[in-house]
């Protein structure tokens, strides 16, 4: 099948439009991450998503792998963008310290953090300054899922036309 000049021109225009849409998304992400007012206006709350990820960490293998990989890559611990981000792990029932002594004995990970919470090599202190980076990654992941869903919907429309 040969591609005509018209098809080639349409492809160039589509790629150009797609490029500018990607740039717009990047700008929106940075505005949403750095501006609480923009987060409210866009109904984007990455901190809520991060806290849900911590709560469901032990329930979902894919989510656990994602969080572990992220914490190892960025050498951080927790979702908060401060020196006490490791305390975010108390939201997870398995890592929480406020359980009874009997539960603590049966749950060896209570009052701890996942193995992926990295220690700084210089000071050996838990580093928790990854909240912002984690928010950006979650927003990008959400946007990628939305794009995937749109592509699937478009493919279904095309398949229906061909029948």
Q: Write out pLDDT tens, residues 3-45.
A: 556 667 787 888 889 889 988 888 877 776 677 777 777 666 6
Q: What local confidence, expressed as pLDDT, does residue 36 receive?
A: 73
Residue 19 placed within a domain:
yes
Q: Are 53 and 38 within one domain?
A: no
Could you give the CA distance from residue 29 to residue 72 in angstroms, rounded to a whole number?
23
Q: How confident is the model at residue 125 (pLDDT cuts 50, 70, 90)?
A: very low
**H-helix or E-strand containing 124?**
none
Lowest-confidence pick of 73-82, 114-123, 147-156: 114-123
Locus of tokens 């992941």: 141
Over 60: is that where the pLDDT of 74 sits?
A: yes
CB 117 within 8 A of CB 69: no
Q: Are 66 and 138 within one domain?
A: yes
Could you give the CA distance from residue 74 to residue 115 in angstroms, rounded to a whole number?
14
Over 80: is that where the pLDDT of 93 sits?
A: yes
Average pLDDT rounded to a whole number, residues 95-101? 73
Residue 2 placed within a domain:
no
Average pLDDT, the chain: 76
134 CB-contact burial (10 Å; exposed 0-12 / middle 13-18 / buried 19+): buried
Lowest-confidence pick of 36-40, 63-67, 84-88, 93-97: 36-40
Q: Are 118 and 77 within one domain?
A: yes
Q: Which domain holds residue 27?
A: 7-43
CB 32 within 8 A of CB 142: no
């Amino acid at each position: 099948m040969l591609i005509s000049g018209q098809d080639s021109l349409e492809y160039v225009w589509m790629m150009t439009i797609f490029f500018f849409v990607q740039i717009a998304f990047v700008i929106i992400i940075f505005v949403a991450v750095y501006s609480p007012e923009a987060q409210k206006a866009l109904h984007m709350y990455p901190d809520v998503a991060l806290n849900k990820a911590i709560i469901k960490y032990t329930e979902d293998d894919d989510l656990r792998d994602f969080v572990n990989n992220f914490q190892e890559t960025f050498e951080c611990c927790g979702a908060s963008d401060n020196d006490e981000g490791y305390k975010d792990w108390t939201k997870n029932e398995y890592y929480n310290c406020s359980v009874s002594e009997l539960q603590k004995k049966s749950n060896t990970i209570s009052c701890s953090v996942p193995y992926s919470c990295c220690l700084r090599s210089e000071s050996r202190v838990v580093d928790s300054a990854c909240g912002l980076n984690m928010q950006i990654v979650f927003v990008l992941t959400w946007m990628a899922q939305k794009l995937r869903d749109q592509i699937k919907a478009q493919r279904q429309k095309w398949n229906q036309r061909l029948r």
